[in-house]
Amino acid sequence: MRTLAAGRGAALTFRNVSTDATVSLQSNGSVTQTTFHADESSTVQSTGHNVIILFPTDIPAGPTTTLYIGRVTYDVTAGVFSITGHSGQTRDLCAELVQ
């Protein structure tokens, strides 16, 4: 089964609570196609502007918060995200928040 989601998104603001530094993003839109597999895993392909937040259990291991502008693909298995590829630009929002 596949799902397709598209929209304008929402304006986002990320804040470092220790330093009060912020990074704000406009809503620029995205399209996400998710393919669900029989083993309950899924493969996701997102295009446009997408923020992906990764945790230490993900691949690559987080914590990271990255804005992907272009295309990003990832698999989700038992709640673990595995980035499998991307093209276009990336923006490391965590790095911006610690400056």
Q: Where are the domains of the chain?
A: 2-97
Record the pTM.
Answer: 0.92
pLDDT(48) > 80: yes
Residues 6+ apart with CB under 8 A from 6: 29, 30, 31, 32
Q: What is the mean pLDDT of residues 47-56?
A: 97
pLDDT value of position 99: 72
> What is the dihedral sign for C-alpha 21, 87, 72, 56?
negative
Before 56, cis peptide (omega within 30)?
no
For 6-31, the pLDDT digits (tens) are 999 899 999 999 999 999 999 999 99
Q: Which of 12, 37, 47, 6 is nearest to 27 (CA)?
A: 12
pLDDT tens-place string over residues 89-99: 999 999 999 97
DSSP letter (8 states) at residue 87: E
